[in-house]
Amino acid sequence: MKQNLLDTKDYIVFAIYFVIVAAYGLYIYNKKKSASTGSKDYFLAEGSLTWWAIGASLIASNISAEQFIGMSGSGFKMGLAIATYEWMAALTLVIVAVFFIPVYLKNKIATMPQFLHQRYNGTVAMIMAVFWLLLYVVVNLTSILYLGALAVSSISGFNLDLCMYAIAAFAIIITLGGMKVIGYTDVIQVFFLILGGLATTYLALNLVSTHYGTSGIFEGYSLMTSKASEHFHMILKPENENYIDLPGLSVLVGGMWIVNLNYWGCNQYITQRALGADLKTARSGILFAAFLKLLMPIIVVLPGIAAYVLYKDGAFQSEMLQDGSVNPDRAYPVLLNLLPAGLKGLSFAALTAAVVASLAGKANSIATIFTLDIYKKVLKVDASEKNLVNTGKIAVVVAMILGVVIAPHLGIDKKGGFQYIQEYTGFVSPGIFAMFILGFFWKRATSNAALFATIGGFGLSLLLKFLPGMTDLSWLSGMGFSVKTAAGIYEIPFLDRMGFVFVFCIIGMVIISLFENRNGVNPKGLEIDSKMFKTTTGFAVGALIIIGLLVALYGIYW
């Protein structure tokens, strides 16, 4: 692909972004330094983040290269249907704010393994602490690093490895300042992310309208809906070639709920932003993030669809190729390379902001789990607050170095970035979510049942993944639960696979728990009061607006 290198104006815009983020981060760090240096302040920014900082940080941590590059690529390949990850996440955030966060805050939970220790036992907590560290480093950190570096390299023309090292170094600098620095610099990151993202969407829609002899973004959008009407359906039919990735109604009543509720409600990387706040502030921040989530498809999906419309009509024929075949993940970088000087720098800053913010949040979560759940509980029980903070900082650097070393060898770019992350985290999400949801709301769930969900859920996920190669699953196709692949094998869509595994884990946990409780001895439950789930009028109104908008969106684009 021919590189359209950054202009001097682009470097100036990018330098402004870098200076603003670095200077503001330094200001927050110095301000924090004079206030508190405790481990909870460092890892959770206890009592320091406002609702808008929490909301912005949630989005900045969530939106990264896998959205900008991977989700735009999925937009090119399958259309608006991929937006279900963003729109369903908005509703999920409302549910998490109402039912999950109050439980965490009431029980003074700082980390997800701590929750498991408090609810089940130390064995479950330690297994999951080690597991989460591996998942965060090997899947999440590496994919963010590699896809981010790939995008930055495509736009700037700089060497891929150099881009990876530079992004990692920038993220380390921000992360070492602790959660308070991450939270407040994320506000700036989100500003650049949205502004730069909208600039790219504006260009994409204008390109479509210009290509067909008209002008204006609304004309461009109208042309997209007519030229690629098949790309504007939220619910895919079994005959659609992308059904295996988004299997019809499963996005509304099946596995998509497990993906989202596990990610937004049982994930240290995400919940950490709200765990240091009071309930009202945490809920307001999460609701703000839900509104921002509704906007994300405009930024990360529409450009991919626009690139598809143009490609189908003869544009970008060589630019979209990689190793002789079309790579959908090239759609976003191709569009960025067409931006005029200055605007390209803004979009370049937006992409960098998304990647760096996500890396910083992920590295902080890795450091938090390692320090509070492994180092403090096993390696050095009597560690001082200063020692814990220093250990956390070392963990940040080590995790990032491991990410840089491992990332190039995983073949992340071969499958499609966004789908790579979703499928491989999907091997463990059902078991983890089953363990959490019963741990929240069913006091009789036992530790052995939780272990069954974790280990049994992973085992069944592997079995269902490789089952198509061992037996014929065509009998499931009539119900929409298996799809014939190009190789002629009937596979179970991974979202359906997650749904089956979740049901299996819930049934298994209930049977094991009832068997263990047969003598009337109940395990330790959490402190839960129904009044915890009552919301303010303002939150309720905001939640209803989000639900109304979602009903309208799915009604229009069904």
pLDDT digits (tens, 9 = 90+) for 367-385: 888 888 888 888 887 878 7
Q: Are residues 230 and 330 in the same domain?
A: yes
Q: CB within 8 A of 436, min separation 6: which ones?
A: 115, 262, 265, 266
356 part of a folded domain: yes
- Looking at residue 300, its amino acid is V
**The pLDDT value given to residue 551:** 94
Determine the Cα–Cα distance for residues 304 and 335; give it in Å rounded to an integer.
9
Q: Are residues 481 and 396 in the same domain?
A: no
The 10s digit of each residue's pLDDT in 384-398 is 878 888 888 888 888
Q: Are residues 476 and 406 in the same domain?
A: no
**The pLDDT value given to residue 112:** 84
Q: What percent of the chain has pLDDT over 70?
A: 90
**The pLDDT value given to residue 41:** 63
For the chain, how many structural domains are there in total? 2
Q: Please check whether residue 61 is in contact with residue 254, taking contact to mean a CB–CB distance below 8 angstroms.
A: no
List Cβ<8 Å contacts ≥24 apart for 219-228: 220/306, 221/302, 223/309, 224/302, 224/305, 224/306, 224/309, 227/309, 227/312, 227/313, 228/79, 228/305, 228/308, 228/309, 228/312
**pLDDT value at 46 more than 70:** no
Weakest-pLDDT range from 35-49, 204-218, 496-510: 35-49
**pLDDT value at 302 more than 90:** yes
Written as six digits, the tokens of 476 are 């499931």
Written as six digits, the tokens of 348 are 């370049």
**pLDDT value at 521 more than 60:** no
**pLDDT value at 14 more than 50:** yes
Q: Are residues 205 and 231 in the same domain?
A: yes
For residue 468, which phi and psi values (nearest 5 degrees)?
A: -55, -30
For residue 216, which phi and psi values (nearest 5 degrees)?
A: 105, 150
pLDDT band at 519 (very low <50, low <70, confident <90, very high): low
454 part of a folded domain: yes
Q: Please check whether residue 329 is in contact with residue 70, taking contact to mean a CB–CB distance below 8 angstroms.
A: yes
114 part of a folded domain: yes
DSSP H or E stretch at residue 491: strand 490-491
Neighbours of 38 (CB within 10 A): 14
**pLDDT value at 121 more than 70:** yes
**The pLDDT value given to residue 3:** 47
**The pLDDT value given to residue 1:** 38
Higher pLDDT among residues 523 and 543, named by residue: 543
Instruction: For residue 97, give the DSSP letter.
Output: I
pLDDT band at 163 (very low <50, low <70, confident <90, very high): confident
Q: Are residues 121 and 204 in the same domain?
A: yes
Written as six digits, the tokens of 253 are 């009543």
Three-class SS state of 118: helix
Q: Are residues 390 and 514 in the same domain?
A: no
pLDDT, average across residues 533-555? 93
421 part of a folded domain: no
Residue-number span of the structural domain to which 515 is assigned: 426-527
Determine the Cα–Cα distance for residues 325 and 71; give it in Å rounded to an integer.
19
Q: Are residues 402 and 378 in the same domain?
A: yes
pLDDT, average across residues 341-354? 80
Q: Are residues 482 and 369 in the same domain?
A: no
Q: Are residues 485 and 400 in the same domain?
A: no
118 part of a folded domain: yes
Q: CB within 8 A of 273, min separation 6: which ones?
A: 49, 54, 57, 58, 61, 179, 183, 285, 361
pLDDT band at 120 (very low <50, low <70, confident <90, very high): confident
Task: Reduce the secondary structure of 435-458 to three states and give it as a string.
Answer: HHHHHHHCCCCCHHHHHHHHHHHH
Determine the Cα–Cα distance for residues 422 and 494; give it in Å rounded to an integer.
9
**The pLDDT value given to residue 34:** 53
420 part of a folded domain: no
4 part of a folded domain: no
Neighbours of 166 (CB within 10 A): 16
Instruction: For residue 326, give the DSSP letter.
Output: E
Written as six digits, the tokens of 183 are 């939270």
Neighbours of 8 (CB within 10 A): 10
The 10s digit of each residue's pLDDT in 317-344 is 877 776 677 778 778 878 877 878 888 8
Mean pLDDT, the chain, rounded, equals 82
**The pLDDT value given to residue 32:** 63
CATH label of the domain that carries residue 344: 1.20.1730.10
**pLDDT value at 36 more than 70:** no
Written as six digits, the tokens of 100 are 């999950």
Q: Are residues 500 and 544 in the same domain?
A: no
Determine the Cα–Cα distance for residues 343 and 346; give it in Å rounded to an integer.
5
Q: Are residues 402 and 432 in the same domain?
A: no
Q: Are residues 436 and 519 in the same domain?
A: yes
pLDDT, average across residues 481-495? 77
261 part of a folded domain: no
The 10s digit of each residue's pLDDT in 245-289 is 888 888 888 888 998 998 898 887 777 777 777 889 989 999 999
Higher pLDDT among residues 438 and 316, named by residue: 438
**pLDDT value at 293 more than 80:** yes
**The pLDDT value given to residue 7:** 82
Determine the Cα–Cα distance for residues 445 and 513; give it in Å rounded to an integer.
5
Higher pLDDT among residues 31 and 93, named by residue: 93
Weakest-pLDDT range from 75-89, 216-230, 375-389, 465-479: 465-479
pTM (2 decimals)?
0.85
